[in-house]
Chain A
Amino acid sequence: EAQVTQNPRYLITVTGKKLTVTCSQNMNHEYMSWYRQDPGLGLRQIYYSMNVEVTDKGDVPEGYKVSRKEKRNFPLILESPSPNQTSLYFCASSLVPRTGRRYEQYFGPGTRLTVT
């Protein structure tokens, strides 16, 4: 089954304790992205990656790191989490169009992170 998986689905942690949220897709997609969703603010893009070893900042990259060493994986790293990073996080993936058409993004089920 084609899917985007995220782990963990729920995480409660304390300020300053480094954590990683994993994201994996089995569709051989070049493009992957991370979003956070907060009440009243909608979905905001954190980082995205066009392919292996190619990443770029979205709208809210501060406090986050990403890496893309393999095509299928795109982990989100919080080196020193703070309470304002409490949010619902979504990973997404898609093909990169060859002809100018944009392909739809497939989203994971979400990771609810609480930083106390």
Chain B
Amino acid sequence: DAKTTQPNSMESNEEEPVHLPCNHSTISGTDYIHWYRQLPSQGPEYVIHGLTSNVNNRMASLAIAEDRKSSTLILHRATLRDAAVYYCILVQAPAGGTSYGKLTFGQGTILTVHP
């Protein structure tokens, strides 16, 4: 399975942008890049995903390198509620059904937001 590499931790100040990097040099052509985050004492929650093009939603933006070997999750204005562990994971597109379900979470990046 393709793996991702993220910094262990990052810090930001409130209301400043945050760029969370993820390296996935062994990504395959059909892997989607998903980001989840886990707030303290909660289950992970979906943030955003993409394949090749940059993506925006109400929570964040995802910038994907042209060679797809890295991506960056962008929080445009960090708030204290954004303090969480952020996971970048590669998700295989269905291939005969059996490979679909297996997800591999890495260690994630602990984001600390200072008031």
- Show the binding face of A for B, using Cβ within 8 Å: 4, 31, 33, 35, 40, 42-45, 48-50, 56, 58-59, 90, 92, 96-97, 100-102, 104-110
B17 touches A (CB below 8 Å): no
Q: In the complex, are the beta carbons of B43 and A108 less than 8 A apart?
A: yes
**Contact indicator A45/B93 (Cβ below 8 Å):** no
Q: With A50-B97, A96-B100 given, is the CB distance from A104 to B43 under 8 Å? A: no
Are the CB atoms of A50 and B105 closer together than 8 Å? Answer: no
Chain B: interface size category: 20 to 34
Chain A interface secondary structure, helix, strand, loop or mixed?
A: strand
Name the residue of chain B whose CB is nearest to the CB of A43.
B105
Write the nearest CB–CB distance from A108 to chain B, whole angstroms: 6
30 A-B residue contacts at CB 8 Å? A4-B43, A31-B100, A33-B103, A42-B107, A42-B108, A45-B102, A45-B103, A45-B105, A49-B101, A50-B100, A56-B101, A58-B101, A58-B102, A58-B103, A59-B102, A59-B104, A92-B44, A96-B94, A96-B100, A97-B94, A100-B94, A102-B92, A102-B100, A104-B34, A104-B49, A106-B46, A107-B43, A107-B45, A108-B43, A110-B43
| A109 and B46 contact, Cβ closer than 8 Å, known pairs A44-B105, A50-B100 | no
